Structure formats: structure tokens, C-alpha cells
Amino acid sequence: MAPEDTPIPESGAPAPTTAKAPRKKKSPAPLRFAAIDFETADYQSDSACSIGVIVVEDGRILHQVHRLIRPPRSAFVFSYLHGITWRQVEGEPPFGEVYPSLRPLFEGVAFIAAHNASFDRGVLARCCGVSGHPLPTAPFLCTVKLARKVFRIFPTNLAAVCQNLEIPLKHHDALSDALACAKIVSLAAEKGASFRGMTLPPAKLPPPPALS
């Protein structure tokens, strides 16, 4: 029927309507995040001696990097945990020379995951502050809190979480720990977990030391 032949509806009858096609739902943007782990030589947060960084997007590992770092002091307190000694790292570059190649890994990520994130965030902040490098602007996500909220795992140390979730782990190896954190986040995402309200603020540079 031609448009001009369309019948006029009788008085009181609803006008014919054209069915609207349903709107297509937009697919969510793929989740891109980083996971990080530091090992330190001593109790000071500037003593990073090893770092592992993983970048994941849409469930796939895009980058995985492990570097040894020469800390500012030769005395090691935590060799019994991670097995790293001064002899192994005395010929490695300091953090200030390692970080420029790692910095691009944190660009464009939704967050940086770490197990007990306040520790790794503090080490990153201190090491960047000492070496004069800018900090990533991404917030941090603590996989301790994530494991408790999503998987109801207690105790929540990394070894216990990995055993519960059947994640391979060489504990206190920076790359293995970072991989485990990334896997915890990915498994939580598969369960439909929301990460809103779970992140810590981005790392901040520590205040300069007070003048004596």
C-alpha cells in the first residue's frame, strides 16, 4: 500500500505505531590491570631487591616482567624468605635505572593488584621518591581483601589463597607472587565480582625528610 493510501484510524482508535528495534547492549570494555610484587632486602621500604609485574587484559597475560634490583644497602635481612643475597644483586642496576622500562606497563590499567597492597604500594612510593621517578596514577587493589570478599577464604595469606584456588605458587618469588595475584583477580572477575569500592588510592610520594 502506498503511503498516501494508509487508512485514517477511526475516532478513538490508537494510531498505528512502528515497532522499534531493541537497542543492542554495549559490550563492557575488557578489563586491563597490572599485578605487582616486591621483595625487599631489609625492613626499609626503599630496599627493593626484586620486582615482578604482570599486565592482563580480558583474561589474557600481555606482559610479564621480572627484574633483580640492587638495593641501597648490602645488608640483607630477608634472604631466608626469598633466597636473594647481596652477591646476586650487587651487579644489578638500582631501582632508578630499572623503573623507566617498567613504567609504561602501568599506563592505561584500571588498577594495580597486589597481595597486602599497602606494602607494595609503600615500596613503590618510597623507591620512586628516592629515585625521582613519577608514580603510576592507577589505584591499588588488595587481593587479600578480594579473596575474603569474593571467595570467603580465611586465613588469607598468599600461600593459603593459592592452595584454596589451586593456583601454582613459588612463594616469595616476585614473578610467581605477581602471577598469583593476577590469577586471583581473573578468577574473581569470572565470578562476576565488582571491583568498585575495593581499591586503595594511588601511591603517593613520601614527604621529604625534615631538616635537622
Q: What is the CA radius of gyration of the chain?
A: 25
Nearest alpha carbon to residue 69 among 89, 45, 83: 89
Domain ranges of the chain: 31-194
The pairing of beta strand 32-40 with beta strand 112-114: parallel
Checking if the pLDDT of 100 tops 80, the result is yes
pTM > 0.75: yes or no: yes
Q: Are 156 and 117 in contact (CB under 8 A)?
A: no
pLDDT at 111 over 80: yes
Contact call for residues 126 and 206 (beta carbons, < 8 A): yes
Q: Please state, in angstroms and as integers, the Cα–Cα distance from residue 45 to each residue in 119, 133, 153, 205, following that order.
A: 8, 15, 28, 12
Quote the pLDDT of residue 12.
56
Question: For the segment 15-63, what is each residue's pLDDT rounded down to a tens digit?
Answer: 555 666 666 555 567 899 999 999 999 999 999 999 999 999 999 999 9
**Of residues 22 and 137, which shows the higher confidence score?**
137
Helices (H), ranges, the chain:
79-82, 86-89, 95-102, 117-131, 143-146, 158-165, 174-190
31-194: CATH architecture: 2-Layer Sandwich (3.30)
